Amino acid sequence: MTVFSGRLRPAALAAGRGLFLSVVGLPVSITLFVLAMLSVAFIPLGIGVLSTPTVLEAVRKHANQRRLWAMTWSGVRIPVPYRPLPKGLRAGVTGQVERTTLMLRDPATRRDLQWLLVDMTAGTVLAILAAALMIYPVEGLVLAAGLWRVFRDDPYWYGVVPVDSQTSGIAALALGIAIFHIGLRTSGPLLRAHFLLAGTLLAPTRDQELAQRVRRLTETRHEAVDTAASELRRIERDLHDGAQARLVAMGMNLGTIEALIEKDPARAKKMLAMARESSAEALTELRDLVRGIHPPVLAERGLGDAVKALALRLPVASEVTVELPGRADAPVESAAYFAVSEALTNAVKHARAERVYVDLHHAEGMLRISVTDDGGGGAVVGSGSGLSGIERRLGTFDGVLAVSSPAGGPTMVTMEIPCELS
């Protein structure tokens, strides 16, 4: 009984989703396909130039919604292949012409339209089958329960069974039970097959994947260069304004001490104490600067201990969980360390958190890090934010950043970096 109930719920859920896709998804696919064809056909008349971008955007939203359902309902990941439109497209008719041209030249647009055709036919058949195998047996039960009396004079065909008596009604029930058991086992796989079929057209082709990869590498290369230049400027500024200024002042004091050591030994002694204090402060600033470039604890003891040391310096309670069977390459560890540092700074400074949780582990070739706080939430990845800096830092290593931060909290920042541990 437990096994049966364990199968019934996911099968019934898959049937309901298949019914939803066939009832809602089919009309939307048909409508969008017809509108897209009409818009493209009317481009020579000028009307299509104005309507095509809007229609194609609607097609992409429809396809992206199907991608979302594929992932959340069946665990089928379908990447987004669209080329980004350039920023600063002109307004007016000229901008619409450029937008229309760019969208029509995108190979993903043609594949979206092909998917609409497939979704209207084979995709809908798979969705209907996922639903029908769980719903159709109910009719057999109703026929056996007494509905067979309506068909005494003219038999009703339930599958391969002509129903016109109680005996044939029971036969229909037996057939319905058999179909129901088939549905228990196949409704989920049929729904998954629907999404896998969609993925054959909605996912990027090999050429598109390579183009996206080149574009991503180009972006991350520029970002890495900009980040390195920014770090150099920061180091130069910190050296100039901090340790360098203190060392210059200390040299001037030593010159004064040299002149006063015979004339005014007491004052010279006092200035020596000041020089010693300045040298200690300069040394501290240099140590902080080195720690900001590459913390010694990171180089000596690895990412896990470095993050634990980082959490110990926080003014709030923290908990760090580390499951790393080895060490990643030094550049990866450095990127991960400073990404965690930025996330912790955001949690304390902006979210006003009282407790922070950090989890680091490695699985399936991915270094996964999550930073969770109990603050006020509302964190958004945007231009100029610390989270954008984390995203750029991770992007250099093909890493990704995901942020969940509803209003009122909690906030969870999840980072993934592909790497192998040694």
Residue 78 has pLDDT above 80, yes or no: yes
Q: What is the pLDDT of residue 242?
A: 63
1 pLDDT exceeds 80?
Answer: no
Q: Which of 19-33, 206-220, 324-338, 351-365 comes out lowest in average pLDDT?
A: 206-220
- How far from the centroid of its chain's Cα atoms is residue 303's Cα? 23
Q: Residue 10 contacts by C-beta under 8 Å, 6 or more apart in sequence?
A: 188
Q: In this structure, which amino acid lies at residue 363?
A: A
Q: Quick one: residue 88, left, alpha or beta (phi over 0 = left, psi -120 to 50 = alpha)?
A: left
CA 248 vs. chain centroid, Å, equals 50
Q: How confident is the model at residue 221 (pLDDT cuts 50, 70, 90)?
A: low
Q: How confident is the model at residue 411 (pLDDT cuts 50, 70, 90)?
A: confident
- Beta strand segments in 316-410, E: 317-323, 355-363, 366-373, 400-404
Closest CA to 61 of 112, 118, 99, 20: 112
Yes or no: say if 339 and 369 are a contact pair by the CB < 8 Å rule. Answer: yes
Please state the separation of Cα 125 from the chain's center in Å: 31
Give residue 69's pLDDT.
92
Q: What is the pLDDT of residue 147?
A: 80
Between 263 and 342, the higher pLDDT residue: 342
pLDDT the model gives residue 194: 94
Which range has the worst mean pLDDT, 154-163, 279-288, 358-367, 405-414? 279-288
Q: How confident is the model at residue 198 (pLDDT cuts 50, 70, 90)?
A: very high
What are φ and ψ of residue 237, in 5° steps?
-65, -45
For residues 151 and 109, the model is more confident at 109
Confidence of residue 217 (pLDDT cuts 50, 70, 90): low
pLDDT at 115 over 90: yes
Model confidence at 383: pLDDT above 70: no
Q: Is 100 exposed, middle or buried (0-12, 13-18, 19+ CB in 10 A)?
A: buried
0.75 surpassed by pTM: no
Position 127 pLDDT exceeds 60 = yes
| Sequence-distant (≥ 6) Cβ neighbours of residue 13 within 8 angstroms | none
Per-residue pLDDT band for 293 (boundaries 50, 70, 90) equals low
Determine which helix (DSSP H) or strand (DSSP E) holds 414, and give its type and residue range: strand 411-418
pLDDT in tens, 7-50: 788 888 999 999 999 999 899 999 999 999 999 998 888 888 88
- Mean pLDDT confidence for 300-322: 86
The DSSP secondary-structure symbol of 23 reads I
pLDDT, one tens digit per residue, over 236-259 is 666 666 666 667 777 777 777 777
**What percent of the chain clears pLDDT 70, i.e. is strictly above it?**
83
Query: Token pair of 228, please?
Result: 């390195």
pLDDT for residue 179 is more than 70: yes
Question: What is the number of residues in the chain?
Answer: 422
Angstrom distance (rounded) from CA 157 to CA 420 = 61
Residue 272 predicted with pLDDT over 90: no
Contact criterion met (CB below 8 Å) for 328 and 321: no
- What pLDDT shows up at residue 294? 59
Q: DSSP state, 200?
A: H
pLDDT of residue 3: 45
Tell me which residue of 283, 291, 293 sits closest to 243, measured CA to CA. 283
pLDDT in tens, 323-336: 888 888 888 888 88
Pairwise CA distance, residues 217 & 239, whole Å:
32
Longest dimension (CA), the chain: 132
CB neighbours of residue 179 within 10 Å:
20
CB atoms within 10 A of CB 390: 25
- Which position has the token pair 């945007």? 382
Mean pLDDT, the chain, as a whole number? 81
The pLDDT, as a whole number, for residue 287 is 64
